[in-house]
Structure 1
Amino acid sequence: MSSTVSSAPNRRVLVVASLVAAIAVVGGVFWWLHGGKATASAAVGSQADSKDDSGVSILLDLAQTAVKEKRLVAPAGSNAYEFYLSVLQLDPQNKAAQEQLHESFPAASADVERSINDNSLDEAQRELSLLREFDSTNYILSLLGGKLDAQRQIQIRQDEARAAVIQAQQSAGGPAQ
């Protein structure tokens, strides 16, 4: 009988402790849903705002460095146009990026033409696409696109002529070049 008498107070202590723990959990959930969630949301929102602002400023700094180093449209992934276009994705109304893209357009289109003249046609296509992403209606880009297509046709004809020479030499039994 003494074993039943001693187990009753232990059960009461266990029930009281369980109730205190449950009240603490419910109180914590209530605080998080009403007071803490708003505070946490405000903190996350302010971090996101500062992250966007610093992301834009970092991209602008990278773009300015690329302009100084005359990396307007090349190399891929590290040029002023890609940085400025990224700024405009984050902040479509960013005046600094828009102005710099307009100012550097003549030099950037000259770089595209230089790539075409150097017969770097895939690179020229990438650069031209980058400029078209900024201003798809510019007539200079249409002219460069026509020049690029013409240069590709010339290259195809040259490759076909070389292939014909090699094929003629092989059929004649001569050495291939």
Structure 2
Amino acid sequence: MLVLVAAVGIFRHGQAAANAAIEDAALSTGWVSEASTDDAQSGTGILLGLARDAMRDGRLVAPAGSNAFEFYLSVLQLEPANLTAHEALRESFVRASEEIERTINRKDLEEARREIDLLREFDSDNFTLALLGGKLSAARNLMTKQHEAEAERIRQARAAGS
């Protein structure tokens, strides 16, 4: 994780220097609007590459901050009409939903909540996400009941031992 943070810092520093050079050139030559477009496209290209790498590595919705869904959503923030990002998100939605269901089954409920919220950023009205939300809620209720039963068992054991 620290390596990733360092890489992002180095990348942003280099990008800031490159942006400053581009802005200087834009001001001197008068092509400011083209520089803005090129900057967005280079950021988009980098994010698309990171998203492809994450998909290849099986990081569809996890870990937080370094997964394909977050990278593609970042592309859409830069370019809301980017077809590559839209298609990739749409095509991987079912697999991402299945991955979330496995996360719920492993009882990693906070991570499942984060992943559901991530998919909702792309398609907030998706019925599958409503079902996953219901399954998550049921899993939370079951876990609460299990904790309450365990606490009661401990209380009874202490009372019997006193």
TM-score by length of 2: 0.80
Q: Shift of residue 40 of structure 1?
A: 4.4
Alignment partners' CA distance in 2, 1:161 and 1:106: 36
Q: Shift of residue 47 of structure 1?
A: 3.4
- For residue 61 of structure 1, what is the amino acid of its counterpart? G
Aligned counterpart in structure 1 of residue 86 of structure 2, from 98, 102, 111: 98
Task: Report matched runs for 1:139-158 at 5 Å.
Answer: 139-158=127-146
Alignment partners' CA distance in 1, 2:148 and 2:29: 65
In structure 2, the partner of 1:53 is 41
Per-residue CA deviations over 1:1-40 (Å, capped at 9, x if unaligned) read xxxxxxxxxxxxxxxxxxxxxxxxxxxxxxxxxxx9x934
Task: Report matched runs for 1:1-177 at 5 Å.
Answer: 39-40=27-28, 42=30, 44-173=32-161
Task: Give unpaired runs (5+ residues) of structure 2.
Answer: 1-23
**CA-atom RMSD in angstroms:** 1.9
In structure 2, the partner of 1:13 is none
**More deviation, 63-72/110-119:** 63-72
In structure 1, the partner of 2:7 is none
Per-residue CA deviations over 1:38-65 (Å, capped at 9, x if unaligned) read 9348355443322211000000011011
Q: Do the aligned partners of residues 61 and 164 (structure 1) sit closer, same or farther apart at CA in structure 2, a change above 3 Å counting?
A: same
Q: Shift of residue 124 of structure 1?
A: 0.4
- Between the two structures, name the one with larger relative contact order (CA 8 Å, sep ≥ 6): 2
**More deviation, 45-54/120-129:** 45-54
Q: Secondary structure at the match of 1:61?
A: helix
- For residue 64 of structure 2, what is the amino acid of its counterpart? A
Alignment partners' CA distance in 2, 1:44 and 1:171: 77
Q: Shift of residue 140 of structure 1?
A: 0.5
Alignment partners' CA distance in 2, 1:121 and 1:41: 55
TM-score by length of 1: 0.73
Q: Shift of residue 154 of structure 1?
A: 0.2
